Amino acid sequence: MRMLRRRAPRSDVDRQLSGWSRRRTISWTFFGLALLVAGQHLLAHAGLRPMPMSMARQDIFFGYPAAFVLAIAGGLTMDPNPRL
């Protein structure tokens, strides 16, 4: 009798065929957060201050360095073999 090959569970098949892997989703989340931080920082320098902090503290805690760190984290977690 011929050996029949078992089918993989549906969730495994869906996970393999998914265009957005977990790693790719995390990477783009980091990039999105970096964009939000940079945008908030730009608005703060334009005069809009949504947070009750001095400009120096906003620069230290929420400024471009924070956006840079988030962008680096997104780049490090990016999928090594991206599919376009």
Tens digits of residue pLDDT in 2-54: 666 676 666 766 666 566 677 778 888 888 888 888 887 788 778 777 667 77
Evaluate whether residue 21 is within a structural domain: no
Evaluate whether residue 6 is within a structural domain: no
User: For residues 59 and 36, which has the higher predicted lDDT (pLDDT)?
Assistant: 36
Evaluate whether residue 74 is within a structural domain: yes
Residue 49 and residue 55: Cα distance in Å, rounded? Answer: 9
> 3-state class of 19 per DSSP?
coil
Residue span of the structural domain in which 42 resides? 31-84
Number of domains the chain is built from = 1
Residue with the two structure tokens 């120096």 = 56
pTM for the structure as a whole: 0.57
**Quick one: pLDDT at residue 77?**
81
DSSP secondary structure letters along 37-62:
HHHHHHHHHHT---SSS-HHHHHHHH
Residue 84 has pLDDT above 70, yes or no: no
Evaluate whether residue 18 is within a structural domain: no
Residue 11 and residue 63: Cα distance in Å, rounded? Answer: 41
